[in-house]
A and B are shown apart, each in its own frame.
Chain A
Amino acid sequence: MQDTTIILQILWTSLATSTYYVLFAVAFALVLKVTRLFNFAQAGVMTIAFYTAFVVVQWLEWPAWAAFIVMMVVTLTASYALERIGFEALRRRGVSVMFVFVFTFMVSEFVAYVAMLIFGTWPQTIFPTIFWPVTLVGEIAVSGWDLPAMGATVAALAAFFAFMRFTRTGQFMIGVADNPGLAELYGIDKRQIFLVTMLIAGAFVGLGMFLYGTRAQVLPQTALSLMLFAVVATIIGGIGNVAGAAIAAVILGIVQNASILVIPSEWQGFLLYIFLFFAIVFFPNGLKLPRRRTRFGTATRNTPPAGDAPAETQA
Chain B
Amino acid sequence: MAGVLEVKNLSKSFDGIVVARNVDLTLQSGRVVGLIGPNGAGKTSLFNLICGVVKPDDGMVLLEGKSLDGQPFHQRVRDGLSRTWQHTRLFPSLPVIDNLLVGTHDYPGERLINVLFGPARLRAHDTIARDKAQGLLGKMGLGSVANDLVSDLPYGQQKLVGVARALMGDAKCLLLDEPMAGVEGQAYAAMQRVVREVAESGVAVCVVEHNIAFVRDLCDEGVFMFSGAILARGSLAELIRDPQLTELYFGH
Residues of A within 8 A of B (CB): 304, 306-310, 312-315
Contact = CB atoms under 8 A, between A and B. Distances in A.
A310 B83 CA distance: 15
Given A306-B72, A309-B14, A314 B44 contact: yes
Interface residues of B, number: 24
A309 B54 CA distance: 6
B73 A312 contact: no
Contacts, number: 44
Contact of A314 (B39, B55, B85): B39
5 contacts: A306-B73, A307-B55, A310-B54, A312-B44, A315-B45
A312 B86 contact: yes
A310 to B, nearest CB: 6
Interface string B172-211: 0000011000000000000000000000000000001010
B55 to A, nearest CB: 6
B222 to A, nearest CB: 15
A178 B45 CA distance: 21
B86 A306 contact: no
Interface centre among A304, A308, A313, A314 (most CB of B within 10 A): A314
Interface in B30-82: 37, 39-45, 48, 52-55, 72-73
Given A306-B73, A309-B14, A314 B40 contact: yes
A313 B19 CA distance: 12
B178 A306 contact: no
Give the 9 A-B residue pairs with the shortest CB-CB distance, closest first: A315-B44, A315-B43, A314-B40, A312-B44, A307-B55, A314-B45, A312-B86, A315-B208, A310-B53
Chief secondary structure at chain B's binding surface: loop
A308 B45 CA distance: 12
A306 B55 contact: yes
A315 B54 contact: no
Contacts of A307: 54-55
Nearest to B86: A312
Interface of B: 14, 19, 37, 39-45, 48, 52-55, 72-73, 85-87, 177-178, 208, 210
Contacts of A314: 19, 39-40, 42-45
Contact of B178 (A304, A310, A315): A315
Chief secondary structure at chain A's binding surface: loop
A313 B44 contact: yes
Nearest to B225: A315
B48 A315 contact: no
Nearest to B52: A306
A315 B19 contact: no
A315 B41 contact: yes
Nearest to B48: A310
Nearest to B15: A309
A25 to B, nearest CB: 27
B76 to A, nearest CB: 11
A309 B51 CA distance: 12
A312 B85 contact: yes
Contacts of A312: 44, 48, 85-87, 177
A312 to B, nearest CB: 5
Nearest to B45: A314
B237 to A, nearest CB: 22
A306 B85 CA distance: 17
B53 A315 contact: no
B52 to A, nearest CB: 7
Given A315-B39, A315-B178, 17 more contacts: A306-B53, A307-B55, A309-B14, A309-B48, A309-B54, A310-B54, A312-B44, A312-B87, A312-B177, A313-B39, A313-B44, A313-B86, A314-B43, A315-B42, A315-B43, A315-B208, A315-B210
Nearest to A311: B87
Nearest to A305: B53
Contacts of A306: 52-53, 55, 72-73
Nearest to B178: A315
Nearest to A304: B53
A291 to B, nearest CB: 13
Nearest to B39: A315
